[in-house]
Amino acid sequence: MGLTKKQKEFYDFIKNYIEEYGHSPTQKEMKDHFGLKSFGSVQKYLQYLEREGLLKNQWNQRRSIEVEDQENEDENHSTIPLLGMVAAGNPILAIENPTNTIAVPKHFLKGSHRYFALNVKGDSMSEAGILDGDIVICKSTDDARNGQIVVAVVNGEATLKTLMHSKKAIELHPHNSNYRPIVIDHDQREDFQFKIVGTLVGLLRSYL
Out of 9-13, 62-66, 73-77, the most confident range is 9-13
Question: 108 vs 124, which has greater pLDDT?
Answer: 124
Nearest to 158 by CA among 201, 122, 206, 110: 122
> Are 39 and 91 part of one and the same domain?
no
pLDDT, position 15: 87
Among the candidates 72, 95, 125, a domain finishes at 72
Those residues with Cβ within 8 angstroms of residue 161's Cβ, 6 or more apart along the chain or in another chain:
88, 124, 125, 149, 150, 152, 172, 173, 174, 181, 182
- Is 1 a residue whose pLDDT tops 60? no
37 is catalytic: no
- Is 74 a residue whose pLDDT tops 90? no
- Is 109 a residue whose pLDDT tops 80? yes
> Are 27 and 90 part of one and the same domain?
no
Q: For the chain, what is the mean pLDDT?
A: 83
161 is catalytic: yes
Confidence of residue 139 (pLDDT cuts 50, 70, 90): very high
Q: How many other β-carbons are positioned within 10 Å of the β-carbon of residue 139?
A: 19
pLDDT, position 159: 92
* Active-site annotation holder among 124, 140, 177, 195: 124
Strand-pair partners of 86: 120
**pLDDT (mean) for 154-177:** 90
> Are 94 and 176 part of one and the same domain?
yes
The boundaries of the domain holding residue 196 are 77-204
**pLDDT (mean) for 53-72:** 66
> Are 153 and 131 part of one and the same domain?
yes
* Active-site annotation holder among 161, 166, 177, 206: 161
Percent of the chain with pLDDT over 70: 85
What three-state secondary structure class fits 155? Answer: coil
Among the candidates 72, 105, 125, a domain finishes at 72
What pLDDT digit, counting tens, does each position of 34-48 carry?
999 899 999 889 888
Sign of the CA dihedral running 82, 2, 128, 111: positive
Number of folded domains that form the chain: 2
